[in-house]
Structure formats: structure tokens, C-alpha cells
Structure 1
Amino acid sequence: MDVLWLNQNDVRSLLNLSDAMDAVEKAFEQHGRKKVQMPPKSYLYFEAHNGDLRTMPAYLEEQDVAGVKIVNVHPDNRQKGLPTVMALFVLNSTETGAPLAVMDASYLTDIRTGAAGGIAAKHLARPDSHILGLVGSGNQARTQLVAIANVFDLEEVKVYSAHKESAEQFKQEMECKADCTIEVCSSIEEVCDCDILVTVTPVRTPIVKSKWIKPGTHINAIGADAAGKEELEASILLQSRVVVDDMAQASHSGEVNVPLSEGLITVDNICCEIGEVIAGLEPGRLNESDITIFDSTGLAIQDVATALLVYNAAKEKGMGKKLQMF
């Protein structure tokens, strides 16, 4: 039996953010309508190496396709000349269980996470949002910017990084892609003077203060994707409409995980899941002055939906390498 192998160059040439946003939005909607199977991601922690390994399986009923992603997060990898995040995805037939394709999922992860941020902003941010603030300037900041620019007419982007040279490089690379001015800020407080705020850092101590957030702001909280991580002061959550991607997963590894475990908030402070908003089952933003938060942990359904796009495009274009596995 042949299995299709797709390396990162293949995936990059086959996957675009606009299509990924459509696929992720539909996957979220199915999740909201309980048309998926998706256990919470499981973790192996390697404390001696400051890293972890995660497995993320899911099944999309409407597309009748399943798969699993194996992904690591090792913040010290940059010092070794390796990516912080590396991932592999296996797409499976539901009829036989056999693998249909094995593909690089590092780029796929960047794209599907950016897509989720763009879709969340579409449904939760004020329609007249024009100023984007980014805390962090890595790969995910780039895909978040492009995805949000696909939805909103951005006039200005503000970016802050603990490493100013990284923020300057971000400005040089992304200003033409965003088709607007990018300002490198000297503080997070400056960045928070915006309509849409995106946080994409791996911190474990909150770096965004409640007093900096204006009424009407929408926040994509992207960085907290494991137990113990948090980017926002808990008091921000208490004054906001908090929408998670998945209640069970966010509770143990999302932006809400630390405030929940410390009793600073309760599950009653969480409005709903983004899929329920997209499906029209729950309201998102109620008025112009609401502060809304999307707590993104990264769902396996996003990976399956995006990997299916890549697989179908590869078959159509005759790309990839067929490997005999059995």
C-alpha cells in the first residue's frame, strides 16, 4: 500500500492562508454543532530539556476524515539552529484506518493557528477595527497579521518584542505584505492602544495589564498553549467576554488555565466556544464597548481540516512522493 509523503516545501506550495481560514471556520462550526470527535491534546513534558511533545487526534464527521498531529515545543531550540516548533501529521482513512498521507506540519501549524486568529477576530472584533497590536514578533505574529489583514482594513500595526532587532526585522519583512504602516513600540503598553490585540509569547507570568486595555478591544490570546502559561492579567478576563476554542482543552492548557486553577475565575466567566458563535448558537460581542477575548489553544480539528486541503491539492497536482509502507 502506498502512502503519500509531503515535505515542508510541498506543503508550503500547496497551502494558502485564505483557503485555510475557510477550512478552519467550517471545522470550528462543526465543533460547535458537536459534529467532531476530539479528545484534549495529551502532553509529555521533558523538564530536563525545557520542552514537551504533544499528540492531537481528531475526526471530522462531515468530511469523514481523521488524523493525528505530533508536535513539540522546545523554546531553547533556536540556540541549536532548530525551530521551536516541529510537527508531523498523519491523515487517515476512516474506512480502513490506513494512513493516506504523512506530511510536515510545522508550516501547517503556523497557518492554521493564524487562520484561527483571523476567524476569531472576524466574529468577535468590532467591524470598524483598523489598528492591530502584536505582542511578539515570531512566525505566529506573521500569520496572525496576514489573517487579520484578510478580514479588516488595517491602517496601522504596532509590534513589540523583547528583542528589538526581531521587531525591526518583522517591520521590514511584513510592512509591504500588510500594506500599512508598522510601528515598532518600546513597550507593551504602547501596543495595547489598539482595536485588536494579539499576544504570541511563551511567558508564564502575565505581561499584559488590565489598565492598558481599552473598552471595545478584541484580544487573541495565542501564546498560552500549555499548563502554567498565561499572558494576560486575570482581571482582564473578569471584565471581558471570554470565548475559548475548546472548553476542556482551554481549562488545562489555555489562557484561562492558571486563573481557573488558582480560583481567580470560574467556568462561569467563560462565555462559550468559538464554534458555537460561528454556528449562531451563542452570541459573541454584544456591544461596541465589550472587551472580547479569544483563548486559542490550537485544536486538532484545525490540523485535520487543513491537512485535508493539502492532501486534496497534492493529489490534484500530482505532488509528493509515494512511499510503500505495507
Structure 2
Amino acid sequence: MLLLNRKDIESIFAMTDAIEADKKAFSMFSLDKCKSPIRTNFKSENADGSILYMPGYIKDLGISGLKIVSVFPENHKYNLPSTPGTVLLVDDKNGLVNCILDGTYVTELRTGAASGAAISLLANKGSKIGALIGCGGQAESQLDAMLTGCETLEEIRIYSRNKDKRTAFAKRMQEKYKSVKIIASPNSDEAIDNADVIIMVTTSSVPVINGDKVKKGALVSGVGSYMPNMHEFDEKTLIKADKIYFDSKDAVLSEAGCIITPLKKGKISESDFTGDLGDLINGNIPSRESEDEIIVFKTVGISVQDLVTAKMIFDKAVENNIGYEWK
């Protein structure tokens, strides 16, 4: 059994690889070539957090697996990751666990890559301005994916309700990504003003953007909300949207309050949904059809992303003799 920590994975697997993995995962999901049940979510009764179990199976890759991932927003106070996780890969020919991976980093990669995949497929060519709302544990990989998915971006605005946090994050990201301008915005409206690509990665119970400020032609990716009480999107953005895509419609309508609530209120209807991103990748639904279209992508994450990503990492690790062999 191979053990792979974050440094092992970083040495062999880049965001470009993760975006490729997510596109493959979404395609397989839409072709019904995997089993990816809705996750089991236990709300912690001892802290402000959720413990999630995400199983899956992919016959064509010869693997099953399980990701245990938790969301504990207050973990930063204890110098712990806000989304700790572990991924187990199981060989479907003998039932043995053949790899255990750092699920925190796998989650960061594949979650960022979902936005990256959507951006590469749906953002306007030549987009210049990006906005990132939220500075938590998933933010850095989202920024990485934004820049990987759209290489023409010249400026990224960062907003979080915590001034010190957004300022520190923007400064750290500017040191990492020297080829683009990265700035902290004083409010959400300024962050998204004239932005071509907007990513929201918060667990907010109230909308974090104002749809009136979303420009024509923008792509808006909602990443953070994964429970019925979470509402990153505002209704105006969804009403204005010309197309709405999901990673999995069934998963989103089971979990994401920012879609469930306006649907129940009649502000939007299922006829407004374009379909899953995998259907677009497979050529079964349309992509962007004009530069003025406002496009929304909502992802809550599905286990097939973790399995395909983990399998690609495992294969590369074996090829490069990376990791610790636990016998």
C-alpha cells in the first residue's frame, strides 16, 4: 500500500493535470460510467463542522474508493486545515487498499480544477479581470485554477469579509503569482465590477455577490456552498444567467441552498438549467454561444472527481517511485 502526502503529490501533479482529471471525471459521470452516490453528511455535535463520506466506483479504471473529508471553518484557530481529508483507493480485482492519499490536498486540487475546467470551456477568450470571493482553505487552488484555465487574465481582485485576511492573502498570492496584478478589494461590488471571471468559495448563508454588478459575458463559478442553508449566489445572478451548468444536477439539487431555495421560490425553474459540464464535454449540450452570455457554473463536488484525480496521482507516483510503501 502506497502512502502519498502533500509534498509527494505536489512533486508530480500540477493544476493542469487536475483539470484534465476533472474533465475526464465529468465526462465519465455523464456517460454513466461510474457510481458516484450523493455524499453522506454528518453534522458535528461537538463543534461547528461537518464530516462527509464520499464513496465511488469506476469499472473502466479498476478502482473503488472513499474520501473522508470534513469542513470545520474554525480549524484555522488551531493551525489545522479547514477541510481535512483522506482518500483511499481500492483495487477492484482484489479488494485491497492500494493507496492512501492526503485528501485535504486532493480536495483542493480537484475542487479548484472544477472551476478551472469550467473556465477553460466557458469563459470568454481574452478575459482580463478575475475576482475571487473567499480566502479560506480552498482559495489558493481556486486562484491557481483560474489562472491555469484562463492564461490571459491580467488582474485578480480578492475579497473576504475579514480585511486582514484578504489583505494578507492577496499579498501572499502576489508573491506567488508575479505575472498578474493581485489586489485586495474593500467590498464584493468592487471586486466583481467589470470582472470577466468570478469565483465564489465561501460557506456563507447569505449571498456574497450582487447580480446587478455582474457584467455581460461574465462566467460565475460557485464552489463553496454545499448545504441547503448556504446561499453564495444571489437570485439576481441566477435570473440574469443565460446558461446554468452543474457538476451534477442531482447533487446540486440535493445539497446547494443557493440553487434549491430560488428554485423552490419560483425565481428560477429547471428549464433554466443547461445541464452538467460532462454533457458539454461529451458534445451533448451547447457551450457559450455569444460573448454577451452570462454563464453560471455550480459545483458541490462528486466522488468521481476524487477517484479519477487520485488514480492519476497514484499512477504517476508508481511511475516516478514517489511515496512511502507500507508493507
TM-score higher than 0.5: yes
Task: Tell me how far apart the structure 1 counterparts of residues 76 and 173 of structure 2 sit (CA, whole Å).
Answer: 21
Task: Tell me how far apart the structure 2 counterparts of residues 151 and 266 of structure 1 sit (CA, whole Å).
Answer: 29
For residue 170 of structure 2, what is the aligned residue in structure 1? 171
Q: For 1:150-229, what aligned pairs fall within 5 Å after superposition?
A: 150-152=148-150, 153-178=152-177, 179-193=179-193, 194-229=195-230
Contact kept? 2:81, 2:137, Cα under 8 Å: no
Contact kept? 2:41, 2:52, Cα under 8 Å: yes
For residue 77 of structure 2, what is the aligned residue in structure 1? 79
Task: Tell me how far apart the structure 1 counterparts of residues 119 and 59 of structure 2 sit (CA, whole Å).
Answer: 26
For residue 244 of structure 1, what is the aligned residue in structure 2? 246
Q: Quick one: which of 12, 24, 43 aligns to 2:10?
A: 12
Paired residue type of 1:170: F
1:19 Cα offset (Å): 1.1
Task: Tell me how far apart the structure 1 counterparts of residues 184 and 4 of structure 2 sit (CA, whole Å).
Answer: 37
Contact kept? 1:32, 1:278, Cα under 8 Å: no
Q: For each residue in 1:233-267, what CA deviation from the matched residue of structure 2 results, as whole angstroms up to 9, or x when unmatched?
A: 12321221110100111002234133234443332
Identity %: 29
Task: Tell me how far apart the structure 2 counterparts of residues 151 and 201 of structure 1 sit (CA, whole Å).
Answer: 20
Contact kept? 2:86, 2:102, Cα under 8 Å: yes
For residue 148 of structure 1, what is the aligned residue in structure 2? 146
Give unpaired runs (5+ residues) of structure 1: none
Q: For each residue in 1:254-289, what CA deviation from the matched residue of structure 2 results, as whole angstroms up to 9, or x when unmatched?
A: 341332344433322221001111111101222111
Contact kept? 2:126, 2:153, Cα under 8 Å: no
For residue 304 of structure 1, what is the aligned residue in structure 2? 307
Contact kept? 1:197, 1:217, Cα under 8 Å: yes
For residue 89 of structure 2, what is the aligned residue in structure 1? 91
For residue 235 of structure 1, what is the aligned residue in structure 2? 236
Q: For each residue in 1:141-180, what CA deviation from the matched residue of structure 2 results, as whole angstroms up to 9, or x when unmatched?
A: 2212222212321111111111222222222222254311
Task: Tell me how far apart the structure 1 counterparts of residues 60 and 231 of structure 2 sit (CA, whole Å).
Answer: 34
Task: Tell me how far apart the structure 1 counterparts of residues 265 and 254 of structure 2 sit (CA, whole Å).
Answer: 12
Task: Tell me how far apart the structure 1 counterparts of residues 144 and 247 of structure 2 sit (CA, whole Å).
Answer: 20
Task: Tell me how far apart the structure 1 counterparts of residues 206 and 149 of structure 2 sit (CA, whole Å).
Answer: 31
Q: For 1:253-272, what aligned pairs fall within 5 Å after superposition?
A: 253-254=255-256, 255-272=258-275
Give unpaired runs (5+ residues) of structure 2: none
For residue 321 of structure 2, what is the aligned residue in structure 1? 318
Contact kept? 1:225, 1:253, Cα under 8 Å: yes
1:92 Cα offset (Å): 0.8
Q: For each residue in 1:77-122, what CA deviation from the matched residue of structure 2 results, as whole angstroms up to 9, or x when unmatched?
A: 1222221110010101111222111121101111111111111011
Q: How many residues are matched? A: 322
Q: For 1:92-111, what aligned pairs fall within 5 Å after superposition?
A: 92-111=90-109
1:217 Cα offset (Å): 0.8
SS of the equivalent of 1:256 reads helix
Q: Quick one: which of 39, 42, 50 aligns to 2:40?
A: 42
C-alpha RMSD of matched pairs (Å): 1.7
Paired residue type of 1:272: G
Task: Tell me how far apart the structure 1 counterparts of residues 54 and 263 of structure 2 sit (CA, whole Å).
Answer: 23
Task: Tell me how far apart the structure 2 counterparts of residues 101 and 300 of structure 1 sit (CA, whole Å).
Answer: 16
Paired residue type of 1:186: P
Task: Tell me how far apart the structure 2 counterparts of residues 181 and 139 of structure 1 sit (CA, whole Å).
Answer: 21
SS of the equivalent of 2:305 reads helix
Q: Which moved more, 1:155-164 or 1:264-273?
A: 264-273
Paired residue type of 1:87: G
Q: For 1:24-35, what aligned pairs fall within 5 Å after superposition?
A: 24-35=22-33
For residue 113 of structure 1, what is the aligned residue in structure 2? 111
Paired residue type of 1:310: I
Contact kept? 1:220, 1:294, Cα under 8 Å: yes
SS of the equivalent of 1:66 reads strand
